Amino acid sequence: MNPDALRGHMDALLLSVLEHEPLHGYAIIEALTERSGGALAVPTGTVYPALRRLERVGYLASEWATVGGRKRRTYRLTASGAKQLAGERSAWREFTGVIGSVLEPGLRRAEVAG
């Protein structure tokens, strides 16, 4: 997948992966790859700075934990992060609806009529 296509959506992807359970950085990257059926191979150089930024703004909290005998920073979604994720999902639905109505106008009319 084109890395430029992810621009502007990384926050929502990261928040979504952390919605149900805390994960360490590498597990977050694995979850992104798994959920996307292998289409997303996001480099650590993209993920870790984004996690730190999301933590700074209060959408994530982290703590050190020992996972498999290794000490790792584990991230979890905060209440503020859950609210942000809901907003990101709403914006995504609106965005895909608008773009879809332009790229496939006949499909949009069929959905409205049906």
Any residues with CB less than 8 A from the CB of 38 and at least 6 apart, and which? none
Number of neighbouring beta carbons within 10 Å of residue 32: 20
- Return the closest-CA partner of residue 51 out of 83, 87, 78: 78
0.85 exceeded by pTM: no
- pLDDT digit string, tens, across residues 54-109: 999 999 999 998 878 889 999 999 999 999 999 999 999 999 999 999 999 887 55
- pLDDT digit string, tens, across residues 3-44: 666 778 899 999 999 999 999 999 999 999 999 999 988 888
- pLDDT digit string, tens, across residues 45-69: 889 999 999 999 999 999 998 878 8
Any residues with CB less than 8 A from the CB of 15 and at least 6 apart, and which? 54, 59, 60, 77, 81, 82, 84, 85, 88
Which pLDDT value is given to residue 43?
86
